[in-house]
Amino acid sequence: GDSVTQMEGPVTLSEEAFLTINCTYTATGYPSLFWYVQYPGEGLQLLLKATKADDKGSNKGFEATYRKETTSFHLEKGSVQVSDSAVYFCALSARSNDYKLSFGAGTTVTVRA
Amino acid sequence: DTEVTQTPKHLVMGMTNKKSLKCEQHMGHRAMYWYKQKAKKPPELMFVYSYEKLSINESVPSRFSPECPNSSLLNLHLHALQPEDSALYLCASSQSYNEQFFGPGTRLTVL
């Protein structure tokens, strides 16, 4: 079945550091890929998405590129802020799974001033 | 309006109580979802409504009863819950199997 594997956290960084969170997936066909962010005490917010190979999603300084050859969708940000402290979930949606979201385990990121 | 709203924000209930969670969206989305999320875990899908009809039930115990009164509203009726049902309950909506938009959630505590 479809699945997502994320790098395990927690990740602790200093402000202005570079952030990468690795995400790889297994799916039949051509899934859509998403990154969601969950700030403390809140629901999930869609951070960015990509729906086909080589698409780059970007938002709020975050980027991720849909790499079909490596089945990856790694999240990157060049200079993190304390306000980026949150849990980040990689997810996929595919017709083979009735378009249900398959989530990774989540990565907790803490940015220190 | 690009928001999914949920009420109440917090709910504390005893094991013999009956309560309901409410979710509303005005984006014209035709699919609505209920998820359960435990601390430090990803959300787990419970139910999916498509065009106001229940299309997916992920083998959820009958003490959880969903209802979709119209295309903008989704309820989750709770009865005889157990302490292990304490969690964050998230509602989401989507259009045509694209990305899902989540509400802020209801933090449920069962005593």
Nearest to B56 among A34, A46, A98 (CB): A98
Q: What is the pLDDT of residues A71-81, one digit of tens each?
A: 999 999 999 99
How far, in Å, CA of A14 to CA of B29, rounded?
Answer: 40
Q: How far is CA A101 from CA A4, B72, B100, B108, in A?
A: 10, 21, 8, 23
Verify whether the Cβ–Cβ distance B102 to A43 is below 8 Å: yes
Q: Place B2 in a pLDDT band, splitting at 50, 70 and 90.
A: low
Verify whether the Cβ–Cβ distance A42 to B104 is below 8 Å: yes
Q: What is the pLDDT of residues B36-63, one digit of tens each?
A: 999 989 999 999 999 999 999 999 999 9
Residue from A20, A8, A4, A2 nearest A79 by CA: A20
Give me the mean pLDDT over the A95-107 stretch. Answer: 90
Q: Place B1 in a pLDDT band, splitting at 50, 70 and 90.
A: low
Residues 6+ apart with CB under 8 A from B15: B80, B81, B82, B83, B110, B111
Is the model more confident about B1 or about B12? B12
pLDDT at A73: 98
Give me the mean pLDDT over the B67-96 stretch. Answer: 95
Verify whether the Cβ–Cβ distance A43 to B100 is below 8 Å: no
pLDDT at B96: 72
- Judged by DSSP in three states, B87 sits in strand
Q: What is the pLDDT of residues A17-37, one digit of tens each?
A: 999 999 999 998 889 999 999
Q: Which of A7-11, A93-97, B48-52, B95-99 is least confident?
A: B95-99
pLDDT at B111: 93
User: Which chain A residues are closer than 8 Å to B104 by Cβ?
Assistant: 42-43
Q: What is the DSSP letter of A105?
A: -
Give me the mean pLDDT over the A82-92 stretch. Answer: 97
* C-alpha distance from A55 to closest chain B C-alpha (Å): 15
Nearest to B97 among A44, A93, A104 (CB): A93
Angle, CA B59 vertex, CA B86 and CA B74 arms, to 5°: 65
User: Which chain B residues are closer than 8 Å to A100 by Cβ?
Assistant: 45, 48, 56
pLDDT at A83 over 60: yes
Verify whether the Cβ–Cβ distance A32 to B98 is below 8 Å: yes
B42: closest chain A residue by CA: A105
A36 token code pair? 């969601």
Q: What is the DSSP letter of A84?
A: G
B5: closest chain A residue by CA: A43
Q: What is the pLDDT of residues A42-60, one digit of tens each?
A: 999 999 999 999 999 999 9
How far, in Å, CA of B37 to CA of A83, rounded?
Answer: 23
Give me the mean pLDDT over the A85-113 stretch. Answer: 93
